[in-house]
Amino acid sequence: MNITEKILARASGRQKVSPDDVIFANVDKVMMHDVSGPGVIKVFDKLKKQGINVDKLWDPTKVWVAEDHFVPSPDKVSAENIVKLSNFTKNYGIEKHFKYGMGQYGICHTLSHEEALVLPGEVYVGGDSHTNTTGALGSFACGLGHTDVAYVLLNGKIWFKVPHALYFKLNGKLPEHVMAKDFILKIIGDISTEGGAYKTMQFGGSGINEMSVESRLTLCNMTTEAGAKNGIVEPDQKVVDYLTSRGASNISLVHGDDDAEYEKIYEYESSELEPVVAKPFSPENIVIVREAPSVELDKSYIGSCTGAKYEDLVAAATILKGRTVKIRTEILPASISIYKRAMENGLLKIFLDAGVTVGPPTCGACCGAHMGVLAKDEICISTTNRNFPGRMGHIDSQTYLSSPLVAAASAVTGKITDPRDLK
C-alpha cells in the first residue's frame, strides 16, 4: 500500500485497502473557518429542527476554528459571522479558536502547520478546498462541504472512496531561482485542472527530500487546482523537527510499503525546470516567465496559504532588498507567527523600504473579497492559487499566478519578470 492507503486502512480499522474501496474512516482532526463555520451552524440548526440531537460534538479537543476569510471584518455581516462563530465555539467547548486581534491567528491551512495542529499519519478534514495543503506533513488531508463537516463534528467519522494515486518524482534539488510553486504550476499545466480528479497526488524523489517542509506545503496546497482528493509527501526527519519545534510530541510516522502501487508515475528533472506563470483564467495556462506576454501590471500580491509562508517572504525579501516597487504591491504574511518572524528578522523593514504595503493575515484579496481587490481591467501577478475570472476582484480583472520570487521581481519592473533577469 502507498502512504495514503496505509493511513486510510489504519483509520478504518482494516488490514488493507485498495483504490475504489469505500471505507468509513475515523477522523483525527477537523477544521472550519468563518465561511464554512456559519454554514455548518446552519446545518446544525436544520438538524435540530429535524429532532436530531446536536447538543454535543464528538470531541471538541479535535476541532479548531480559524478566522481568515472576512477578517478583519470588512462589514457588518462579516462581523456578525465572527460573533456567531465565537458563540458556537463557546457553546461547544472548542478551545482552539484563533481569533484575530488576540495573538496568533491566520489562514486556516497555515495554522494547521504553524501550530502543529495536524500530525503525520492523521486523517484531517476541513471546510475548505485547500485543506489538501496539510498532506505535506504526511497526513491524509482533504476538504469537505458544510454538511460533511457538520457530520464529522457530530460523529467523528466520514466515508471515503480510496483514491487512485499519481506519483510525481522530482530528481535533484530545485535551482535557486525555481520554487515549489513553479514545480506545481508546471505539473498542473502538464496534467490539466482535471488531471488529478479524485486522485492522490504524491510527491517524492531526491528533489522533494531536499525540499523544506514549507515548499512541500506549497505543492500539496495546489493539488486542489488539479482536482485531487489529497496531496501527500512521505514524512521525514524534517517534518518531525518542524512539528517538534512547534510543540508537537508523540509523532509517529506512517510510510508507504516498498511495493506501493501508483496508477501513474511522472518524472521531472529539477535542472530542466524554469520559473513559470499561469495566465488568466486557469491555473493550467502555464507559460515560462521568459516567454510570458509583455503586459503592464497594475499590482503584485504576495499573500495566501499558497504564497505567504515564512520562506515565501524571505524569497520576496531577497529580491526587494534595496529596490523599490514600480507597481502597487501588497504583502500579507499568512499568520501572526510568520508576521512576527518577518519583523524580528528585518523583512518587514525591507518591504516597507521598498514601498510595499504590509497587511494583516487574511484570505481577503486572494478570493477578491476585501483588502485590496482588483478594479475592472486591472492586471495582477499573485502568489495565490486561483486565477478564475473575477477571482481577485472585478470580473474583467486578470491574475497571473507565480512564485514569490517572480511576483517580487515583477513588482520591481512592472512587467512579468524572471528573477534572473533583474538588474
Partner 1 sequence: MKSFKTLKSIITPLDKVNVDTDQIVPKQFLKLVQKSGFGKFLFYNWRFGDDEQIKSDFILNNPKYKNSEILVTGDNFGCGSSREHAVWALMDYGFSVIIAPSFADIFFSNCFKNGLLPIILSEKIVEKIQHETGEVEIDLENQLIKTPSEQISFDIDLHKKTILLKGLDDISQTLLYEKEISEFEKNSTIPSVL
Q: How far apart are CA 411 and CA 306, in angstroms?
A: 18
Q: Residue 248 in contact with residue 116, Cβ under 8 Å?
A: yes
Which CB, 89 or 410, lies closer to partner 1? 89
In eight-state DSSP terms, residue 331 is: E
Q: How far apart are CA 184 and CA 386, in angstroms?
A: 13
Min dist. Cβ of residue 198 to partner 1 (A): 5
Min dist. Cβ of residue 175 to partner 1 (A): 31
Q: Residue 209 in contact with residue 236, Cβ under 8 Å?
A: yes
State the residues that interact with partner 1 by CB under 8 A: 13, 26, 35-36, 38-39, 41-42, 46-47, 50, 52, 69-70, 75, 77-78, 81, 127-129, 143-148, 150-151, 154-155, 159, 193-194, 197-198, 227, 229, 282, 367-369, 376, 386, 388-391, 395
- DSSP bridge pairs for 64: 31, 96
Which CB, 42 or 415, lies closer to partner 1? 42
Strands (E), 77-204: 96-98, 123-126, 140-143, 157-161, 164-171, 199-204
Q: How far apart are CA 4 and CA 141, in angstroms?
A: 10
Min dist. Cβ of residue 394 to partner 1 (A): 8
Q: Where does residue 350 rank: exposed (0-12), middle (13-18), buried (19+ CB within 10 A)?
A: buried
Q: Give the residue among 109, 93, 99, 30 at the shortest CA–CA distance from 67.
A: 99
Min dist. Cβ of residue 193 to partner 1 (A): 6
Which CB, 142 or 217, lies closer to partner 1? 142
Phi first, then psi, for residue 402 (nearest 5°) are -150, 175
Contacts of 15 by beta carbon, 8 Å cutoff, 6+ apart: 9
Q: How far apart are CA 20 and CA 372, in angstroms?
A: 43
List the Cα angle 246/169/159 in 5-degree steps. 65
Which CB, 121 or 207, lies closer to partner 1? 121
User: Which three cell numbers, joined as nine digits, stand for 286?
Assistant: 502555464
Sign, CA torsion 160/119/228/60 = positive
Q: Residue 70 in contact with residue 34, Cβ under 8 Å?
A: yes
Which CB, 323 or 370, lies closer to partner 1? 370
Which CB, 52 or 265, lies closer to partner 1? 52
Within 10 angstroms of residue 348's Cβ, the number of other Cβ atoms is: 20
Helices 213-221, 180-191: crossing angle, 10 deg rounding: 30
Radius of gyration of the chain (CA): 21
Place of cell 451552524: 41
> How crowded is the C-beta side of 123, counted as CA atoms within 13 Å?
25
Can you tell me whether residue 139 is helix, strand or coil?
A: coil
